[in-house]
């Protein structure tokens, strides 16, 4: 887990060493253990290292192959490096280290970028300078677990910059110009990271599951190319679906086995929910070391999961650590949190992850996280809508058509679980899915908040893709969450919160093989009647306590933001004062004032809306006013 950066200048223009060093060292938090730099005339590569595999100096980057024609900077982990290394040694490759990063370099030398990438099991973003071919290769893992940003020049002969974080590009002199279409998108649809744009005009991100090739002589001409195919039909030709629970269990266990590979201590983020508990069970069963687990508690029964996390920790004998953040911690940490994220965040949940990452970093260098199953298998209540839509149009688990009477019964049970009217779910089954309605409601509320000048950018927002892969409405909704903006946003939060404290976060459920397998599953193995994540519950039925397997109160590191903001009224009013709102020219001052007035009076809970506005203002202060200074918490 590291930070990487680089510059490619047009022919005849050498890279400025000081400029490259400033880019690299703005990301010291991503790699405090070591640093490296290499400049070959017009090409420069920089690296900060967080040592996880092979802690010796042999792992210093940039790394070279045997004859020095290739140089690599790598961020992330290649989990199957042992197996690929054995194959490459048989092919005659010689290695100077025991690192996973060096395996990447030789794999590309042996099989080429398009042959190597499908063989990789891991989370990664990397760059390889090929001096013989006079080209630079950049690649990002299939799910986008690790970030990679770039900036090109308007001139075809201009320079090309890339880095693991946005702040590094700003440190190189890129202007911190806010992207107003991105801000409109964030406020209206709560989206970001759903395409290659960012919150800064002119800065792009390499898309998940893509690689990029540029020529040294024309470095600003770039083209992203996909290498990962997540379509259901592709998965069904690759995996065994005759016994889906057994296949799912095998893939999950193998992912945890690979992700336990480390030369430093490994822990687990434990919320007490099904997903993180499954990881604790699999990790304690397969690990040769004592496992440490980490959770956050709240002095609010509606948010606290202490009893569940404690039950799992006690059952599997982990050394468990807890902390209890409060409104004071929010006031103290929020600016640093936003600065680390490099974007505004649309909800308070990531702040709890920020707190637990700081706790974990005091004890371990690697932590396993339970992200993924909610998007893969329909863990949120909102997925009951497309599930019932699928029920009337597709066969059930026994191959029979499902009648309206049976669907109505399921709608009643689901309504009892979620507290919503069964009529809503029955309407979804008949055809009114409600997805477009929810989006329109969000946009309507946001437009009442925005100044007309910001509303003008609505036309520049990327439309929501309609052709997500999948057989049913549920499958397509989950594909949108996995491949669109839902999961990408969560992975962004996790990467920044953990790397801010030099902690590596691994996500076993997002092994691309397991994700591919889930793309090919029939819809009724994801949700069945009122049981979400059905196949995961079945896989864990004899491995976890029944109270954990059958938990339905989805939380996952929640945060009592409404109460915390009421306890921080002066803090909120200071940052969202009419003068502060007015100088940005984005929001209607009267509407922002009304939200605060109603929230602090207890008339309505506007905690999430105020959270987004606070995040936006603090982001402006950190990156537009302050030009992206290094993370102050590190």
Q: Let me know: does 518 contact 381? Beta carbons within 8 Å.
A: no
Q: How confident is the model at residue 158 (pLDDT cuts 50, 70, 90)?
A: confident
Q: Look up residue 561 and give its two tokens.
A: 């933001």
pLDDT 10s digits, 378-388: 999 999 999 99
- Percent pLDDT > 70 in the chain is 94
Q: How confident is the model at residue 190 (pLDDT cuts 50, 70, 90)?
A: confident
Q: Let me know: does 535 contact 376? Beta carbons within 8 Å.
A: no
Angle of CA points 487, 490, 492, to nearest 5°:
110
Q: Is the pLDDT of residue 396 over 90?
A: no
Residues 335-351 have a mean pLDDT of 95
Supply the pLDDT for residue 485.
Answer: 82
Which strands, in side-by-side order, build the sheet including 224-226?
A: 63-64, 70-78, 122-130, 135-140, 210-215, 224-226
pLDDT 10s digits, 304-334: 678 899 999 999 999 999 999 999 999 999 9
Q: Look up residue 537 and give its two tokens.
A: 């519950």
Q: Is the pLDDT of residue 151 over 90?
A: yes
In order of 187, 339, 569, 585, 595, the CA distances from 589 in angstroms are 15, 24, 17, 9, 10
What's the helix, strand, coil split of the chain in %, to 5?
45, 15, 40
Q: Is the pLDDT of residue 422 over 50?
A: yes
Q: Let me know: does 558 contact 300? Beta carbons within 8 Å.
A: no
pLDDT 10s digits, 113-145: 999 999 999 999 999 999 999 999 999 999 999
Residues 485-499 have a mean pLDDT of 95
Q: Which CATH class is domain 232-376+477-548?
A: alpha beta
Residues 85-99 have a mean pLDDT of 95
Residue ranges per structural domain of the chain: 2-186+200-226, 232-376+477-548, 561-625
Q: How confident is the model at residue 178 (pLDDT cuts 50, 70, 90)?
A: very high
DSSP assignment, residue 457? G
Hey, do 2-186+200-226 and 232-376+477-548 end up sharing a CATH topology, with the first three levels equal?
no
Supply the pLDDT for residue 89.
Answer: 97
Supply the pLDDT for residue 443.
Answer: 67
Q: How confident is the model at residue 629 (pLDDT cuts 50, 70, 90)?
A: low
Q: Let me know: does 112 contact 70? Beta carbons within 8 Å.
A: no
Q: Which CATH class is domain 2-186+200-226?
A: alpha beta
> What average pLDDT does the chain have?
92
Q: Which helix (H) or strand (E) holds 7?
A: strand 2-8
Q: Is the pLDDT of residue 435 over 80?
A: no
Residue 19: closest CA among 11, 8, 29: 8
> Omega into 62 within 30° of 0, i.e. cis?
yes
In order of 74, 101, 384, 460, the CA distances from 65 in angstroms are 14, 11, 51, 44
Radius of gyration of the chain (CA): 24
Q: Let me know: does 162 contact 138? Beta carbons within 8 Å.
A: yes
- Measured CA to CA, the distance from residue 610 to residue 630 in angstroms comes to 26
What 466-469 contacts at long range (C-beta under 8 Å, 24+ apart), as own/partner pairs, is: 469/230, 469/231, 469/232, 469/519
Q: Is the pLDDT of residue 633 over 50?
A: no
Supply the pLDDT for residue 436.
Answer: 57
Q: Let me know: does 26 contact 171? Beta carbons within 8 Å.
A: yes
User: Around 464, how many Cα atoms within 13 Å sit in the side-chain half-sphere?
Assistant: 17
Q: Is the pLDDT of residue 81 over 80?
A: yes
Residues 356-380 have a mean pLDDT of 97
Instruction: Output the CA torsion sign for 393, 399, 404, 410.
Output: negative
**Between β-strands 34-40 and 210-215, what pairing exists: parallel, antiparallel or unpaired?**
unpaired
Query: Is 436 or 547 the better-scoring residue by pLDDT?
Result: 547
Supply the pLDDT for residue 308.
Answer: 92
Q: Is the pLDDT of residue 12 over 90?
A: no
Q: Let me know: does 216 contact 493? Beta carbons within 8 Å.
A: no
Q: Is the pLDDT of residue 634 over 50?
A: no
Lowest mean pLDDT among 74-83, 452-461, 588-597, 605-614: 452-461
Q: Is the pLDDT of residue 82 over 60?
A: yes
Supply the pLDDT for residue 554.
Answer: 64
Residues 4-18 have a mean pLDDT of 94
Supply the pLDDT for residue 571.
Answer: 97
Q: How confident is the model at residue 51 (pLDDT cuts 50, 70, 90)?
A: very high
Q: Is the pLDDT of residue 371 over 60?
A: yes
Residues 353-376 have a mean pLDDT of 97
Lowest mean pLDDT among 151-160, 397-406, 481-490: 151-160
In order of 304, 341, 343, 469, 614, the CA distances from 335 in angstroms are 25, 10, 12, 39, 9
Query: Is 66 or 511 the better-scoring residue by pLDDT?
Result: 511
Q: Let me know: does 65 contact 109? Beta carbons within 8 Å.
A: yes
Q: How confident is the model at residue 464 (pLDDT cuts 50, 70, 90)?
A: low
Supply the pLDDT for residue 557.
Answer: 59
> What backbone phi and psi angles, to 5 degrees, belong to 302?
-75, -10
Q: Is the pLDDT of residue 632 over 80?
A: no
Residues 517-541 have a mean pLDDT of 97
DSSP assignment, residue 623? I
- Measured CA to CA, the distance from residue 274 to residue 293 in angstroms comes to 15
pLDDT 10s digits, 254-263: 999 999 999 9
């Amino acid at each position: 887990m590291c930070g990487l950066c680089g510059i490619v200048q047009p022919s005849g223009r050498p890279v400025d060493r000081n400029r490259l060093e400033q880019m690299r060292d703005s990301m010291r938090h991503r790699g405090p253990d070591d640093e490296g730099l290499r400049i070959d005339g017009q090409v420069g590569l920089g690296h900060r290292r967080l040592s996880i595999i092979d802690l010796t100096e042999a792992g210093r980057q940039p790394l070279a192959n045997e004859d020095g024609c290739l140089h690599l900077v790598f961020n992330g982990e290649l989990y199957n490096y042992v197996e690929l290394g054995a194959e490459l040694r048989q092919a005659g490759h010689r290695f100077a280290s025991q690192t996973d990063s060096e395996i990447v370099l030789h794999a590309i030398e042996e099989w080429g970028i398009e042959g190597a990438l499908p063989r990789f099991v891991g989370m990664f973003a990397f760059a390889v300078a090929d001096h013989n071919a006079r080209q630079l290769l950049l690649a990002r893992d299939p799910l986008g677990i690790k970030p990679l940003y770039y900036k090109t020049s308007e001139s075809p002969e201009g320079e090309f910059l890339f880095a693991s974080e946005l702040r590094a590009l700003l440190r190189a002199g890129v202007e911190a110009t806010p992207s107003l279409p991105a801000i409109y998108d964030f406020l209206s649809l709560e989206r970001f990271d759903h395409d290659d744009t960012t919150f800064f005009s002119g800065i792009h991100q390499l898309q998940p599951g893509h690689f990029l090739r540029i020529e040294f002589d024309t470095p600003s001409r770039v083209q992203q190319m996909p290498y990962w195919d997540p379509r259901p039909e592709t998965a069904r030709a690759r995996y065994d679906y005759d016994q889906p629970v057994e296949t799912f269990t095998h893939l999950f266990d193998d992912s945890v086995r690979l992700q336990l590979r480390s030369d430093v201590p490994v822990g687990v983020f434990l919320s007490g929910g099904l997903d993180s508990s499954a990881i604790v069970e699999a990790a304690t069963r397969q690990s040769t070391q004592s496992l440490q687990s980490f959770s956050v508690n709240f002095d609010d029964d509606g948010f606290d999961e202490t009893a569940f996390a404690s039950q799992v920790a006690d059952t599997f004998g982990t050394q468990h650590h807890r902390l209890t953040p409060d409104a004071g911690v929010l006031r103290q940490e929020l600016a640093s949190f936003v600065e680390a994220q490099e974007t505004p965040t649309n909800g308070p949940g990531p702040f709890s992850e920020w707190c637990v990452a700081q706790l974990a970093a005091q004890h371990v260098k690697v932590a396993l996280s339970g992200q993924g199953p909610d998007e893969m298998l329909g863990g949120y209540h909102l997925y009951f809508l497309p599930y019932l839509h699928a029920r009337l149009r597709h066969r059930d688990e026994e191959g029979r058509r499902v009648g309206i009477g049976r669907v109505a019964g399921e709608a009643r049970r689901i309504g009892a679980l979620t507290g919503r009217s069964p009529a809503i779910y029955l309407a979804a089954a008949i055809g009114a899915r409600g997805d477009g309605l929810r989006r329109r409601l969000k946009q309507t509320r946001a437009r009442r908040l925005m100044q007309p000048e910001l509303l003008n950018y609505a036309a520049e927002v990327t439309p929501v893709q309609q052709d997500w892969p999948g057989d049913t409405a549920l499958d397509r909704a989950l594909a949108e969450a996995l491949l669109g903006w839902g999961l990408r946003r969560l992975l962004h939060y996790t990467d920044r919160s953990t790397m801010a404290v030099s902690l590596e976060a691994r996500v076993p459920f997002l092994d691309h093989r397991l994700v591919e397998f889930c793309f090919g599953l029939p819809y009724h193995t994801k949700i069945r009647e009122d049981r979400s994540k059905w196949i995961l519950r079945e896989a864990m039925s004899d491995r976890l306590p029944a109270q954990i397997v059958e938990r339905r109160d989805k939380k996952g590191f929640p945060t009592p933001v409404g109460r915390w903001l009421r306890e921080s009224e002066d803090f909120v009013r200071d940052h969202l004062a009419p003068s502060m709102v007015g100088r940005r020219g984005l929001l209607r001052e009267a509407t922002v004032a009304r939200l605060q007035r109603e929230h602090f009076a207890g008339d309505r809970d506007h905690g999430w809306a105020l959270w987004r506005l606070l995040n936006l203002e603090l982001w402006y202060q950190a990156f537009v006013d302050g030009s992206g200074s290094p993370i102050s918490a590190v």
